[in-house]
Amino acid sequence: MDISTKKTTDAPPPTPQPADAGHRRAPRGATRPGDRIFLGLSRGSGILLLVIMAAIAVFLSYRASLAISKDHGNFLTTFEWNTNVIPPSFGIAVLAFGTVVSSVIAMALAVPVAVAIALFLTHYAPRKLSGPVAYVVDLLAAVPSIVYGLWGALILVPHLNGLFGWLNDYLGWTGIFSWQGGAPRSLLTVGILLAIMILPIITNVSREVFRQVPQMHEEAALALGATRWEVIRMAVLPFGRSGVISASMLGLGRALGETMAVATVLSPTFDIQTSLLDPGGGTFAQNIASKFGEATQDGRDALIASGLILFVITLLVNGAARAIIARRKEYSGANA
Amino acid sequence: MKLQRTNRLRAVSLGAIAVSSALALTACGSDNTSTGSTASGGPSTSTNASAIKCDGAKGQLLSDGSSAQKNAIQAWVKNFSQACGVQINYKAGGSGAGVTAFTQGQIPWAGSDSALKPDAVAASKKVCSSGGQGIDLPMLGGPIAVGYNVNGVDNLVLDAPTIAKIFDGKITNWNDPAIAALNKGAKLPDLKIQAFHRSDDSGTTDNFTKYLKAATPENWKYSGGKTWQAQGGQSAAQSSGVAQQVKQTNGAIGYFELSYVGDGIKAASVNTGASAPVAPSSDSATKAIADAKVVGTGQDLSLKLNYNTKADGAYPITLVTYEIVCDKGNKPDTLPTVKSFLNYIASEDGQKILSGISYAPMPDEIISKVRTTIAGLS
């Protein structure tokens, strides 16, 4: 009973439906000027977007080609970033590794927690609690990244000594979690900080998606005798899956591009450590931020070349996410 | 519906309380910093402004460059703009950014902690009209301290080979015989050395490794430059980041400008072969610069420091920062202002400020050459 009353209170969620249905009908009967103006505006906006993307790609590729032609090392495999000497020698291997690994750690930590928070807020928490908690999560998203960086460097890093020691004691034999006792400013630290930073985005979007699960699905499951956990497993999670994936991709986008927080917390070096706990590694954005001030013209071109690779990685990740969502369309809310 | 509305209202008010309390907190914060900065900026303003010659200086001056000389420029700008009413905006975006902006003609002078490279000189010829080119004016020095944080060790002495081996990961423990031999009687703990270097490209790294390369080439085989090249060790962004890490970590050692020493960080003295180990200070850095040779041609006054100096009381790990201007063909609307500002900072009054804020004034012989060159700028 209490579930049904609860659901009726927030039954009509004001979902802004994209102009999905309209775009099929409008051009055909476009006799009135309003339709034609709107058609022109929207088509112009679409073209403008393509032009902007193309301009970015052309700029990045042109400057990158200038730098790569002067590179003395191999741009993809060199473990070095030395652009101010003659001849310059630089490569993105370490940066690509660090960017991907720290983002994967962040996702692995943040997504389960974010989904759990979203489920708690929509299906378990009493209404008195869920509102304030949701607002606090929203506030977390408003904290600038440099503030996270300062917090990370001054508070998180000193407090990670205990966790790192514990991981080394019990999981050190794996090699991935061995620790030589340096300051805990490693890729794992970055991953933990990034996880905290992307948590609010994933939580917010997941919460909105879970809230829109058709009430009939849940009531039907309940009527068949399902427990609340079974309702979540059979009705809520399948319905929300593509939404959670989209939310995770938003978070991943932030994690891949995060700059100042990483630069403040990481102890970057140009080599790849087998252990996630030993200081070292680096990310694209952090490297651009820390090398830009002293870079010469060639050095800037080299940094732009690394930015191009980040651009490509981000496009690939987004493309993969879209493919996953498209494949799962039959579960989504569109035909519920 | 009613229930929902009150609930929302409550949540909104809660959010409002959170935001307003955050605002109140930040208000406190900015209050504190402003009082702090005026307190620390106090001593450097005591010079009398009457000795500054304004000579037609007017308007606004933009500049960019080395962050190593930022504090000195700030102190100079404060006095100069009080006396002459000129607004000077020095961005401290890094030497590379400064030189780039200068060679593109965006700013009339730049600060840099290494002398102009040949390709930058070539680029400057486009900006300086009537056959001029960019020149380096050495204006201030700064000792680079080797700062450490080891409980129970107060007067650490190191020499160039030991410093090189520590930062190259060859010496890894504080009770290493090489360190013990230089510190007889000191109680060195059995503790891992954690060496910190800069993660960003930096003139400080450039000058520090130049010293290691010149003083102990057999222990420092890297080619040098603004990028740290040795493997291992840990890194942090900016001098302040390195100092912060050294302060936080027992057993840490790092390198940064002298002003970061103190508050938990001690500076090592360097055994140069002089009669006694030399501690970093304004005086000892000036003495080391006095041993330098002018290697620039024509009006250019770029210096080559003698890193192997054995003069008593000369601290060899020192950087010199330059102001870069055109020798001929400066833009007529900024020339008088630039000239009178440079005149002021090269004057006795201008140089006197430096030792109070952990920089080193230029030795007399060099600064008099700088003054002559400034007088000839056109």
ipTM score for this prediction: 0.72
Mean pLDDT of chain A: 86
From chain A, the residues in CB contact with B248 under 8 A are 157-158, 183
- What pLDDT was estimated at residue B34? 35
- At B376, the amino acid letter reads G
From chain A, the residues in CB contact with B67 under 8 A are 293
- What pLDDT was estimated at residue A97? 94
Say if residues A200 and A141 touch (Cβ distance below 8 Å). Answer: yes
* Structure confidence by residue, pLDDT tens digits, B130-187: 888 999 999 999 999 999 999 989 899 999 999 999 999 999 999 999 999 999 888 8
Q: Which residues of A touch B (CB under 8 A)?
A: 9-10, 81-85, 127-128, 131-132, 134-136, 138-139, 153, 157-158, 181-183, 185, 263-264, 266-269, 271, 279, 289-297, 299
Interstrand relation of B134-149 and B318-326 (parallel, antiparallel or unpaired): antiparallel
Q: Which residue of B has its CA nearest to A186?
A: B234
- What pLDDT was estimated at residue B130? 83
Alpha carbon distance B28, B297 (integer Å): 54
- What pLDDT was estimated at residue A231? 92
- State how far residue B342 is from chain A, nearest Cα, in angstroms: 24
- The residue with tokens 């000058």 is B207
- What pLDDT was estimated at residue A40? 94
B234 touches chain A (CB under 8 A): yes
- The residue with tokens 């979203």 is A118
The values of phi and psi at residue A303, to 5°, are -65, -35
| Confidence check: pLDDT of A25 > 60 | no
Please, which residues have CB within 8 angstroms of residue A11's CB and are 6 or more apart in sequence? A215
Inter-chain contact B94–A10, Cβ cutoff 8 Å? Answer: no
* Structure confidence by residue, pLDDT tens digits, A174-217: 888 988 877 888 999 999 999 999 999 999 999 999 999 998 98
| Confidence check: pLDDT of A71 > 60 | yes
The residues of chain B scoring below 50 in pLDDT are 1-3, 23-49
- What pLDDT was estimated at residue A28? 58
Say if residues A84 and A296 touch (Cβ distance below 8 Å). Answer: yes
- What pLDDT was estimated at residue A329? 62
- State how far residue A32 is from chain B, nearest Cα, in angstroms: 41
First to last CA, chain B: 79
User: Rounded to an integer, what is the distance from CA B250 to the centroid of its chain?
Assistant: 25
- What pLDDT was estimated at residue B43? 41
From chain B, the residues in CB contact with A94 under 8 A are none
Query: Which of A81, A131, A279 has its CB closest to that of B7?
Result: A131
- What pLDDT was estimated at residue B258? 92
Inter-chain contact B3–A268, Cβ cutoff 8 Å? Answer: no
- What pLDDT was estimated at residue B96? 85
Best-predicted range by mean pLDDT among A9-13, A82-86, B28-32, B281-285? B281-285
Mutation to test the B interface, candidates A294, A298, A300, A303, most B Cβ within 10 Å: A294
**What residues does B269 pair with on adjacent strands?**
B157
| Confidence check: pLDDT of A96 > 60 | yes
Least trusted range by pLDDT, from A36-45, A96-105, B112-121, B134-143: B112-121
Please, which residues have CB within 8 angstroms of residue B202's CB and are 6 or more apart in sequence? A294, B226, B239
* Structure confidence by residue, pLDDT tens digits, B103-139: 999 999 999 988 898 888 999 999 998 888 999 999 9
Inter-chain contact A293–B200, Cβ cutoff 8 Å? Answer: yes
Say if residues A83 and A90 touch (Cβ distance below 8 Å). Answer: yes
From chain B, the residues in CB contact with A134 under 8 A are 11
- What pLDDT was estimated at residue A271? 85
Q: Supply A249's token pair.
A: 């991709």
| Confidence check: pLDDT of A91 > 50 | yes
- What pLDDT was estimated at residue B19? 52
